[in-house]
Structure 1
Amino acid sequence: MSATVVLDRDKLLTARLYAARVRPYLATALFALHVVESRRVPTMAVDRHWRCYVSPLFVARTPVADLAAVWVHEVSHLLRDHHGRGDRFLREHGLTGAAERLRVNIAADCEINDDAYGDGLVRPADAVEPGCLRLPEGQLMEEYLRQFRLGPLTQHLAWLDCGSGADGLDRAWDLGSDGAHGLTEQERDAVRFRVAEGITGRPGTAPKGWRRWAEEVFHPPQPWRELLGAAVRSAVSASGAGDDYTYGRPSRRSAGVPGVVLPALRRRPPRVCVVVDTSGSVSDTELGSALLEVAAIARAVGGRRDLVTVLPCDAAAHRVLTLCRAEDLPLVGGGGTDLRTGFARALRDARRPDVVVVLTDGQTPWPATRPSCRTVVGLFPRPVRWSEQDPDHVPDPPPDWARVVTIGSPGR
């Protein structure tokens, strides 16, 4: 029977229009998919080159509203790069085989489906959701993969097949990288960026999972950010950071010294000053990255923005800024570099910091002695050291008393 059914393209494309109307931020991606009729596909499936393979029989028997939901589901696999992420996860864990690829497809569906439906988009009766596997909602595919194996709870999902665009395993029906109508890697990235722009440009209209995805498209997670956050957390939690004396609560040692009131040690929230190198050798891209690091540092101290100050510094230290929103900070400068003035200004401030974080390219002299607080240096790498006055100049490396984390890579 399926061989005699003709693909109803009008119905299929009407469903795509419906999907674009109820999920306008996904419209660019939906219309980037090229339809390929295939009687070898159980329902609808995608490959990593942004082709959508469609069963004529499935289109014939499925209502338009349900087809719209499938359109959104399949394009979600591609936008979230489930095939690439699945490849990396299985490779890192030494896993192979079709069964593991089915697990990737199931976990990817759980990531998509927990908040994909509603608001005009119907929920398919057979949608795979975390609750079906007794898993929590709101997690990523990789997190789900660590929490379940194929077994009684998944045996009814053996039919699941969203294609190589969902799990990375090539199918017999795939046209491959040399086939017609596939998107190049640059075109795929451009589509993702346009969709992310649509989501961030209309805050509040997209589910939390999509907002998180859009933020990562603009600012992908970087290993150095985790290292920098860990270094800051280690510094602010170290002995002495955030400690102060108070006479409001006498020390218990006062009992051993009659007639003398000794102060007690009080723990207060630690303060962090971020000194940002704004000299002419630091690019606009690096200054933009510095703003991201300031936001990450605020999260590292528990989200207390009142505990974080920012000090732009080139050859001279500028005004100490209170952190409201990182993107609104005026990073003034553009001259030479001498971060010693930044250290001195930070330590003179009335809100004296417990930790100084320096974001710099390293082309600066450093204080001759260890500052009276802990120091973390976020270093923008330089493949070639240079100086306008002296081409042979090689700047001093950060001192041994600073914890150094390299930000980015020379090939950025």
Structure 2
Amino acid sequence: MTAHAPGALDRGKLFAARLHAARVRPYLATALFALRPVESRQVPTMGVDRYWRCYVSAAFVDRTPVAELAAVWVHEVAHLLRDHHGRGDRVAGERGLTGPAERLRMNIAADCEINDDVYGDGLVCPEDAVTPEKLGLRAGELMEDYLRQFQLGPRLAREAWLDCGSGADGLERPWELGPDGAHGLSEQERDAVRFRVAQGIRGAPGDTPAGWRRWAEEVFHPPQPWRQLLGSALRSAVSASGVGEDYRHGRPARRSAGLPGVVLPSLRRSPPRVCVVVDTSGSVSDAELGSALLEVAAICRALGGRRDLVSVLSCDAAAQTVQPLCRTEGIELVGGGGTDLRSGFARALRMRPDVVVVLTDGQTPWPGARPPCRTVVGLFARTGGSYDEDDPGYRPEVPPAWARVVTIGSASG
């Protein structure tokens, strides 16, 4: 290696470590060489931002062996590939996590997700790497899972220096250049890097760790948005065999030719009838009722705009008025008491629909027997974690196995 000025970043050593990382983890090579190094005297070791800049401390590079630097390269690029910054922002919003201490917990949880299987096979594990084993946690879980399993305390005091940058937890650091700074990758470039890495892992998985294989599968098959899932479940239900089908003599069956003098009816499909049961009990919020009205409109679109085929029934402890769908603005959802959707099911089935769609928070008894038609249950997502302020441990019964269940309002469905 060529000599470098005292105090300056030894780029030769840094790039030698990156080359070593690419050799022992060839499926990550595209991502490793996409990182843009930026020298910084403020970053403690190495850290990344969401724009794929890698901030590097010259002193850290000087004192760290090449083999360990290679491991740090892989660790930092893993934060970006696994979208820990975006996931950190989402989980902070969902769980109300604020402040640097909570972001440090996210960084540690993200490190646990990465470090449980990233080392070995030519990549040394740094002595101070945070692993699930060191925290007494089970390996193989995700950042969101680990966040629920530990709190900051004396045993984690020595990790307070830990700072992998906003690329690890979503919280911008003072030394970062931000969205308008130089050397960053555009959103399209970042997505292209992820796709190429995932493509390489799927094409030749070999001895790739399970965590990376799982990640690659999610890049190719990301979780579907809940509205698409609800529409898919509804389309599957209304197109199933026996739904909206009946025998008619309008067009004779082809088998009539084999029976002279006998006209057999043919099986014809008519548009399916859908009854939407909306949970209007006191435990359902106004926002959730608003979501229910949006879903009613989406269900109508899934049926080709045939509003005459959709009826809406509001239900709390007792089934209320059944309303034909004219427009969602005119639907009056009445209720506010306790919940017992069994009465809603009974009222809906008297209308002999082909499909019943139930929109609820799940805090209800369910019918003991399978209804004689297809059933789709849309569950309102509860991001706060508790259904009952008086009993934080309460969880409602899960819907029966005969219902197709979709979570409404979650990012991943």
Query: Does the pair score TM above 0.5?
Result: yes
For 2:16 and 2:238, locate their aligned partners in 1 and report how far apart those are by CA, in whole Å: 53
Q: CA deviation at 1:396?
A: 4.1
Q: CA deviation at 1:394?
A: 6.7
Q: Does the CA contact (< 8 Å) of 2:237 and 2:374 recur in 1?
A: no
For 2:186 and 2:244, locate their aligned partners in 1 and report how far apart those are by CA, in whole Å: 45
- Give the corresponding residue for 1:399: 355
Q: Deviations along 1:209-246, whole A, 9 cap, x unmatched? A: 11111111111223649988xx9xxxxxxxxxxxxxxx
In structure 2, the CA distance between the partners of 1:65 and 1:276, relative to structure 1 (3 Å rule), is farther
For 2:131 and 2:82, locate their aligned partners in 1 and report how far apart those are by CA, in whole Å: 17
In structure 2, the CA distance between the partners of 1:183 and 1:395, relative to structure 1 (3 Å rule), is farther
For 2:119 and 2:72, locate their aligned partners in 1 and report how far apart those are by CA, in whole Å: 11
Q: Which one-letter code corresponds to 2:26 in the other structure?
A: P
For 1:158 and 1:385, locate their aligned partners in 2 and report how far apart those are by CA, in whole Å: 52
For 1:85 and 1:8, locate their aligned partners in 2 and report how far apart those are by CA, in whole Å: 33
Where structure 2 has 5 or more consecutive residues not aligned to the other structure, the ranges are 247-268, 275-295, 311-353, 357-372, 379-405
Classify the secondary structure of the residue corresponding to 1:131.
Answer: coil
Q: Does the CA contact (< 8 Å) of 1:41 and 1:54 recur in 2?
A: yes
For 1:276 and 1:218, locate their aligned partners in 2 and report how far apart those are by CA, in whole Å: 28
Q: TM-score, normalised by structure 2?
A: 0.59
For 2:308 and 2:189, locate their aligned partners in 1 and report how far apart those are by CA, in whole Å: 41
Where structure 1 has 5 or more consecutive residues not aligned to the other structure, the ranges are 232-273, 278-310, 318-337, 342-363, 370-378
Q: Which one-letter code corresponds to 1:155 in the other structure?
A: A
Q: CA deviation at 1:107?
A: 0.4
Where do 1:311-326 residues align within 5 Å?
Answer: none
Aligned mate of 2:59, from 52, 57, 60: 57
Q: What RMSD in Å do the two structures reach over aligned CA positions?
A: 3.6
Aligned mate of 2:140, from 138, 141, 146: 138
Q: Deviations along 1:281-314, whole A, 9 cap, x unmatched? A: xxxxxxxxxxxxxxxxxxxxxxxxxxxxxx9x9x
In structure 2, the CA distance between the partners of 1:171 and 1:385, relative to structure 1 (3 Å rule), is closer
Q: Deviations along 1:238-259, whole A, 9 cap, x unmatched? A: xxxxxxxxxxxxxxxxxxxxxx
Q: Which one-letter code corresponds to 1:88 in the other structure?
A: R
- Give the corresponding residue for 2:76: 74
Aligned mate of 1:26, from 28, 33, 38: 28
Q: Does the CA contact (< 8 Å) of 2:21 and 2:71 recur in 1?
A: yes
In structure 2, the CA distance between the partners of 1:137 and 1:367, relative to structure 1 (3 Å rule), is same
Q: TM-score, normalised by structure 1?
A: 0.59
Q: Which one-letter code corresponds to 2:270 in the other structure?
A: P
For 1:383 and 1:40, locate their aligned partners in 2 and report how far apart those are by CA, in whole Å: 56
Q: Does the CA contact (< 8 Å) of 1:78 and 1:165 recur in 2?
A: yes
Aligned mate of 1:365, from 270, 276, 281: 270
Q: CA deviation at 1:204?
A: 3.1
For 2:244 and 2:28, locate their aligned partners in 1 and report how far apart those are by CA, in whole Å: 46
Classify the secondary structure of the residue corresponding to 2:133.
Answer: helix
For 2:124 and 2:157, locate their aligned partners in 1 and report how far apart those are by CA, in whole Å: 25
Q: CA deviation at 1:384?
A: 5.8
- Give the corresponding residue for 2:263: none
Q: Which one-letter code corresponds to 2:56 in the other structure?
A: V
For 2:17 and 2:107, locate their aligned partners in 1 and report how far apart those are by CA, in whole Å: 23
Classify the secondary structure of the residue corresponding to 2:355.
Answer: coil
Q: CA deviation at 1:90?
A: 1.5
Q: CA deviation at 1:402?
A: 2.2
Q: Does the CA contact (< 8 Å) of 1:385 and 1:394 recur in 2?
A: no
For 2:71 and 2:158, locate their aligned partners in 1 and report how far apart those are by CA, in whole Å: 21
